[in-house]
Structure 1
Amino acid sequence: MSQKRSIFEDVSEQSAAPAPTAGMIDKGTRGARRGVLLWLMVLFAMVVVMIAVGGLTRLTDSGLSITEWRPVTGAIPPMSQADWVSEFDKYKQIDQWQIENRWMTLADFKQIYWWEWGHRQIGRVIGLVWALGFFGFLAARQIPTGWTGRLLWIGALGGVQGAVGWWMVASGVTSGEGMVAVASYRLAIHLGLAFVILGFIAWYIFMLGRTERDLMQARRSKDTKLFSLSTGLLHVAFIQILLGALVAGIDAGRSYTDWPLMAGQIFPPDAFMIEPVWRNFFENPGLVQFVHRIWGYLFVIFAVVVWRRGRAAANTGTQFAFNSVMAIVAVQLVLGIVTVLYAAPVHIAIVHQFAAIVVWVLILRARFLSQFPVTRSIREG
């Protein structure tokens, strides 16, 4: 029973009621958010490595060295001389060896085999890290509210990517069809999906790096116009990435090594010599490289437009994000030209591909800050 209180009691004598705790929306999952964030960062780094190794596998023409898809047993490489001879004999049955690589010895084969095996092995490890993290957090009921579907989506995309990878390789594992490489459009789909996966992981990292309360407040200051422009820039960049994969798929970057012209002309010669005509956009080195160049110029022009709008953003952090995008786009333009002039050597071509990853992530970062600008107090300002 409550005690009787005097009407003359001083208010100051009362015990103060406990003040509400800030950030209650995140209190129950604060530790889980940090754990999931670190796990996603690990996955992000591994996918970046996966893309880089995949690029080197393509540049060294190693992608067809393993002619079978064995998701589980394929994790074990050849362990004896007889195993190596068996793998080499399988490789000898496909067109790439019959037409281009008859000169190879077993030692040469081992070099390209390890590139492809390493690429697939990284994929397996990524899948394992995702599964351990996801099901571990799920079993411990530590996944933040609303995030189960998002994290499951990453794993689903990874599974699809594995199937697409074999679908790509299968296009080149042929005999008597004259195929000495994988189909370029399948390579483009494979690389494009890798960037999609990387994009989702990066976006989730950005979101988990800030509290729900902070994101809800920041969204009120969303720059709708800048968000739309950065979304458009992201799409343009994605198309350029796909076009770059088409170039890599048929070694088109080594076909015309002059710039800004191509074989001394604005438009490459024999651009439509393949029948039917539509195949030229996938298989004609001159036309494929020309389209990649022109789209690259359009991408740079659009990037300048978005950058100028980004410089006018109300938030200095958002301004810096768009300055960073413009800087890396300029670097990427120079790298693209150098790659062409030097006929796409491995060490330059892989830097060009890695820079594409940086462009992709920085555009995503700028887009995120357009939607969720980092607010600053008057004192900090």
Structure 2
Amino acid sequence: MSIALNQPAAAPALTANHAGIRRWLWTVAGLVFLMIVVGGATRLTGSGLSITEWKPITGAMPPLSAAAWAEEFAKYRASPQYQILNNGMSLGEFQFIYWWEWGHRQLGRFIGLVFLAGFLVVALRRLLPGRRVALLFGMGLLLGLQGAIGWIMVASGLEPGMVAVAPVKLTLHLTFAGLFFASVVAFATALTPQRRPETAGSPAMAWLLLALTFVQIALGGLVAGSKAGFAFNTWPMMDGALVPPGSLLFARQPFWENFVDNVALVQFNHRLGAYVLLAAALWQLWRLQRAAPRSSAARRARAIAGIVAAQAVLGIVTLLLVVPLWAGLAHQALAFAVLAMAVVHLTRLAARRADVV
């Protein structure tokens, strides 16, 4: 993102417009963050397959009568998840999981409306240069694609013999949510004036941290999708060893299936990703503390290292406690807090070299 951060004092109208755009973008980012938490709760409560149809418009209305509830329950009873996993579920139990999924979908619709409304104001009033409006339009397409991926994910869990969504498609859904969230945070950050110019820090290192954060979020998606967090609930040992034997990690055929469906390898990769990300965050902190300990970059590096360390500890606690709801949600939320901080850090460092309005 290469929007100038130091606007001249002689342009109050432009500054005011940017302030409004920033408020809109940070609101969208906050809603997406909330969506991540609600989505995690929907998954952990087993609610994601309770609505078996995708109706982007009419689906916004929930059942409003006993007959409508009976019809929705009948559709769910025809699903593999009910027949294999939840046979005998009462209507009240179904309503509990239904409301979680319904709320998740409505929040997605609301985010889409908020983004669309803000985009139309920016575009019609020409509050930003055309290329920035085009970038916002692309972000809107990414948001729409995310909704479609969400349904593709749900549809995978409605296939015969399935009781949950496919891990790869859940990971894709989570990763695209991260991409949209990151783009909103980057755009908002780039429009925010800096109090002091950047004097230290390497964009290359910031890019590495951001890439590692995305990889770790994707690995976490595979853990969630395969329910790998409910196995091997010890640390630092895993199945009695720091590095489990290859016969456990690569027990499936074909070989590539182990990376998405073998809970041992899926969890082990997520552990390794956490170690690498923490090491990178600490390495960046060490370098900046030595070079410019009072710089803005160093302060952000301290914050990033601190929150990555907290996330690692929370991940261990979540594993040892066998993924209670509160810990699973906190772990997912903190992952996106790390992502937001990594994006802000990179955007600030990249803007130091930018030289446009």
What TM-score, normalized to structure 1? 0.85
1:237 and 2:220 are equivalent in the alignment:
no
> How large is the Cα RMSD of the aligned pairs?
2.1
Deviation at 1:23, TM superposition (A): 3.7
Deviation at 1:371, TM superposition (A): 3.0
Deviations along 1:325-380, one digit per CA (max 9) or x if unpaired, are 0000110110011111011111111111111011111112222332346xxxxxxx
Deviation at 1:277, TM superposition (A): 2.3
8 A Cα contact 1:36 1:143, kept in partner: no
Alignment of 1:174-323 (within 5 A): 174-175=159-160, 178-210=161-193, 218=197, 223=201, 226-266=202-242, 267=244, 270-314=248-292, 316-323=295-302
8 A Cα contact 1:95 1:173, kept in partner: yes
Q: How far apart, in 2, do the equivalents of 1:151 and 1:348 lie?
A: 34
Q: How far apart, in 2, do the equivalents of 1:371 and 1:155 lie?
A: 23
8 A Cα contact 1:43 1:129, kept in partner: yes
Identity %: 40
- 1:327 alignment partner in structure 2: 306
Q: How far apart, in 2, do the equivalents of 1:22 and 1:361 lie?
A: 27
Alignment of 1:1-381 (within 5 A): 22-24=8-10, 26-144=11-129, 146-175=131-160, 178-210=161-193, 218=197, 223=201, 226-266=202-242, 267=244, 270-314=248-292, 316-372=295-351
Amino acid paired to 1:242: A
Q: Which runs of 5+ in 1 are unaligned?
A: 1-20, 374-381
Distance 1:164-1:22 versus aligned 2 partners, 3 A rule: closer
Q: How far apart, in 2, do the equivalents of 1:200 and 1:185 lie?
A: 22
8 A Cα contact 1:161 1:193, kept in partner: yes
Could you say what secondary structure the match of 1:147 adopts?
helix
Deviations along 1:199-245, one digit per CA (max 9) or x if unpaired, are 1111111111128xx99xx47x574xx11011011101110100001
8 A Cα contact 1:222 1:371, kept in partner: no
Q: How far apart, in 1, do the equivalents of 2:122 and 2:135 lie?
A: 13
Amino acid paired to 2:158: V
Amino acid paired to 1:153: G
Deviations along 1:19-58, one digit per CA (max 9) or x if unpaired, are xx9544x445232211111111110110000111011111
8 A Cα contact 2:190 2:348, kept in partner: no
8 A Cα contact 1:29 1:144, kept in partner: no
Deviation at 1:146, TM superposition (A): 4.0
Amino acid paired to 1:209: T
Could you say what secondary structure the match of 1:182 adopts?
coil
**Structure number, greater radius of gyration:** 1
Q: How far apart, in 2, do the equivalents of 1:279 and 1:366 lie?
A: 36
Deviations along 1:102-145, one digit per CA (max 9) or x if unpaired, are 03111001111111111110010011111111112322333456
